[in-house]
Structure 1
Amino acid sequence: MSHQTGARRLTVRVLVLVLGIAGVTVLPAGPASAAVPGLVRIAAVSATSSTDFRSVTATCPAGKVLTGTGYEINGALGEVVVDDLRPNGSTVTAPTSVTVGAYEADAFAGNWNVTAYAICANPLPGLIRVTAVSATDLNDFHAATAACPIGKVLTGTGFEMTGITGKGVVDDLRPNGSPVSAPNAVTVGAYEVDTFLSSWNVRAYAMCANPIPGLVRVTTISALNSNDSRFTTTACVNGQEMTGAGFEVNGALGEVVVDDFRPFGSAVTAPTAVTSGAYEEDAFAGNWTLRSYAICATR
């Protein structure tokens, strides 16, 4: 074999090796997979009228499941209390919708409506709905904590009052967790708006799933004062997306109504923040605060 022939073969082999390596290294990296893929926010609005009770259900698109909830009262400015923020589902089936029911606390002549918000995602491994109910009695305050089964984490929250029909107000819808730890339970606390002489209870709902990468709970608190209303927004950080939310009123002991519990987002965009808004139901001289909670996962 001539020296020139050998050199040509060596050159061809080197070129093939270089092109092969180049072919491997120039392939673009695939997009990172979201911890909770397909997140969107769905809204459904009730009729607008002056009737005493209003109810509406927001349902996830076909093939998606419910991870979190929200609501908004329009037109009543503290004269309406949300009695139910009730996700469907069970301890063995994933939730897919949420029903919001609201009553006038006192007779109110104006027109108003209620919006139900459903935070929905592609199916999540292990997603279920669990619940816990308080004692049923005449006490002014009731509380219940719904805890996820061991090994699961909390994605969203809900509540339901029974027996009080517009005379009770949910003061706390409080997920546990922190900015560095995943929530796994929610506590619901409710007060009588006015003296109520019948027995009633409150139920807490928790949406729970198998562990989710980066899941944490973040929070923001309003100013402490005696103003009639306040609003606070909590946003996910570091590019995270929101699976669910909560709120907490401190210092008002049933004298304040959380009128708005509104996740951001749309039917085509993932929620990344929540705004909570509250009004005094009757004139209240004390100082109080409003805290909003967001449950956030890695995008």
Structure 2
Amino acid sequence: MLTLALSLGAAACAEPAPDPDDRDQTVELAGYQLVVATATTTPRDAQVQVACPKGTVILGGGFATLDDTGAYLEGTATAMVPSFDGRTWLVNGRNLAGVGSWQLRARAVCAAAPKGYQVLTGITSVDSVPTKQLALACPAGQVATGAGFATVDSTGVWVAGEATYFSPSWDGHAWLMNAQPFRIAQPWALRGWLVCVADGAVAGYQVHTTESALVAGADEQVIGACPGQAMIGAGWGVLDDTYAILTGRATAHEVDYRGRSWLTNAQNHSSFAPRWRLQQRALCAN
């Protein structure tokens, strides 16, 4: 399913504001639970982790960097990782806007573990090339509900970096991610995580594509939704006019507080391609 979104600047459309008292509480959906955690800090780097309620596991998650009023600001996730057992979702984030106090928010969608639930992981070679790509695939008979990434050094310790492309395949069976460290002072690798479930274990599962028109500005936003369905995960990509992958940066990528839509704010960092589009692939379920 493909939806063409209206072209909007990143600041032109914002998430409806929930009651402040509800922002870090569990939201009940039909068969799913949306969990939220927010950390307020002043250093440029922050970490926040959210846990699923007992008896449930992570399907997918995202992040946002916010100012002290809750408005989106320029930032990025330097890691987004589900735990090996699927119980928690951890986000490392960086404030790129230069403001003082800011917030890092993590949101994740939880459910009772569907049939075949597993968290897979993979890693690239360790060397000093500036950009790396990792493709992860669920075993035959399974589909993805979410994914995570981190840039690591030769010992596996996380180093600051970011995804430049992060998207599931059109059929939901695989996930492709590109990433780069902020500085290459030592050999590094891209590590990825993929959440897989048995095909048919999540009722109504579909991959829903939403994309902007071709734009020439630096920032773009899309909001994807599957009418009548919950959003359980999503990916994004910055693409040129031929749909080739460009170097992008997601400055926010999260499910809304009701669990019914997914917002992605992103930037084009490929100067050789002045016209580009933002594509979001969201994973929806009944």
TM-score (norm 1): 0.73
For 1:292 and 1:156, locate their aligned partners in 2 and report how far apart those are by CA, in whole Å: 13
User: How many residues align structurally?
Assistant: 244
| 1:214 alignment partner in structure 2 | 204
Partner residue of 2:62? 70
Q: 1:253 to 1:199 in 2, by over 3 A?
A: farther
Q: Deviation of residue 102 (structure 1)?
A: 1.6
Higher helix share: 1
Matches within 5 A, 1:90-169: 93=85, 95-104=86-95, 108-163=98-153, 165-166=159-160, 168-169=161-162
1:250-275 CA distances to partner (integer Å, 9 max, x unpaired)? 25844x42111110244xxxx23211
Task: Report the CA distance between 1:285 and its aligned residue.
Answer: 7.7
User: Which structure is larger by alpha-carbon Rg, 1 or 2?
Assistant: 1
Q: Could you tell me which of 164, 173, 191 is aligned with 2:180?
A: 191
Pairing 1:1-299 to 2, within 5 Å after superposition: 38-49=31-42, 51-75=43-67, 77-78=73-74, 80-89=75-84, 93=85, 95-104=86-95, 108-163=98-153, 165-166=159-160, 168-178=161-171, 183-191=172-180, 196-212=184-200, 213-237=203-227, 239-251=228-240, 253-254=246-247, 256-266=248-258, 271-279=259-267, 286-297=274-285, 299=286
Q: Identical aligned pairs, as a percentage?
A: 26
Checking the alignment, whether the CA contact within 8 Å between 1:188 and 1:203 is kept in structure 2 is no
- Measure the CA separation in 1 of the matches of 2:63 and 2:100: 19
Superposition deviation, residue 45 in structure 1: 0.4
CA-CA distance at 1:286 after TM superposition: 2.2
Q: Deviations over 1:19-46 (max 9, x none)?
A: xxxxxxxxxxxxxxxxx96212111001
- TM-score in terms of structure 2 length: 0.76
Q: Could you list the runs of 5+ residues in structure 1 that have no partner in the other structure?
A: 1-35
In terms of fraction of residues, the more strand-rich structure is 2
Task: Name structure 2 gaps, 5 residues minimum.
Answer: 1-28
The CA deviation at 1:109 is 4.8
Instruction: Please report how far the alpha carbon of residue 146 of structure 1 lies from its aligned counterpart in structure 2 after TM superposition.
Output: 1.7
Q: Distance in 2 between matches of 1:153 and 1:282?
A: 31
- AA aligned to 2:179 is A
